Copies of this chain bind each other. A is one copy, B any other.
Amino acid sequence: MRNFDLSLMYVTDDRITDDVAFFAMLEAALKGGATIIQLREKERDTLSFYQRAMRTKERCALYDIPLIINDRLDIALAVDADGVHIGQQDLPAGVTRKLLGKDKIIGLSVSNRLQAQEANALDVDYIGISPIFATSTKREDLELPLGMEGLRAIRKIYTKAITSIGGVHAGNVAEIMRNGSDGIAVVSAISKADDPELATQQLKEIICQTGFKT
């Protein structure tokens, strides 16, 4: 697996259907200092997902920032992305690794301690614990927020990198990092900000202050 910096992941907002607005937002996240981009599209047909992925990859490459694709291994392979982020209802991690190869990043969503325990036996590179706080972004997320107690418990269980997603904003990043997360993943904290580039910079600054690399 290639080295990557999990500290500040911008998960693209598929509510931004307009391409001009979508890529302006991506650019703001990249300029502001996002360390990894996850392209997440739940409503699009395969062709337009692929086209968005191609263009997203071009932009990420200019900043030398890795791009991972949510769920769709076919899209990841088609654009030669740096990896995929899979959920518990996506292709199994072993199948994903076999098709993607050992040099790519695989992240896995985890919603409870049992899944974190199971993830130790899987060939994934990080887990994303979700939701860390309550969120309205991911409509299908019915799990209870894990909170700091859940994060600490999972930190004790899971041996590799952890990021945290769900209701993350500038006001709770420091707490998340101090409780054992290696990074944060955000949608709305950037995409709904008045100034997305500034919001990204501020998140990054807080992460730096907690002593983790960015």
**Chain A residues packing against B (C-beta within 8 Å):** 45-48, 50, 71-74, 77-78, 88-92, 95, 99
Cα of A73 to Cα of B47 in the assembled complex, Å? 12
Cα of A112 to Cα of B179 in the assembled complex, Å? 59
| A95 close to B71 (CB less than 8 A) | no
Chain B minimum-CB-distance residue to A88: B47
CB-contact partner of A95 in B48, B78, B95, under 8 A: B78
| A99 close to B78 (CB less than 8 A) | yes
Q: How far is the CB of A202 from chain B (nearest CB, A)?
A: 35
Chain B residues with CB under 8 Å of A47's CB are: 88-92
- Assembly of this chain: how many copies? 2
Cα of A45 to Cα of B92 in the assembled complex, Å? 12
Chain B residues with CB under 8 Å of A78's CB are: 73, 91, 95, 99
Cα of A73 to Cα of B50 in the assembled complex, Å? 12
Cα of A30 to Cα of B107 in the assembled complex, Å? 39
Chain B residues with CB under 8 Å of A72's CB are: 46, 74
Chain B residues with CB under 8 Å of A92's CB are: 47, 50
**CB pairs A–B below 8 angstroms (7 shown):** A46-B90, A72-B74, A73-B78, A74-B91, A77-B77, A78-B95, A78-B99
CB-contact partner of A73 in B45, B48, B74, B90, under 8 A: B74
- 4 A-B pairs closest in CB distance: A74-B74, A73-B74, A45-B89, A46-B90
Cα of A65 to Cα of B163 in the assembled complex, Å? 45
14 more CB-based (< 8 A) A-B contacts, given A73-B78, A74-B77, A78-B95:
A45-B89, A45-B90, A46-B71, A46-B89, A46-B90, A47-B89, A47-B90, A48-B89, A73-B77, A74-B74, A74-B99, A77-B77, A78-B91, A78-B99
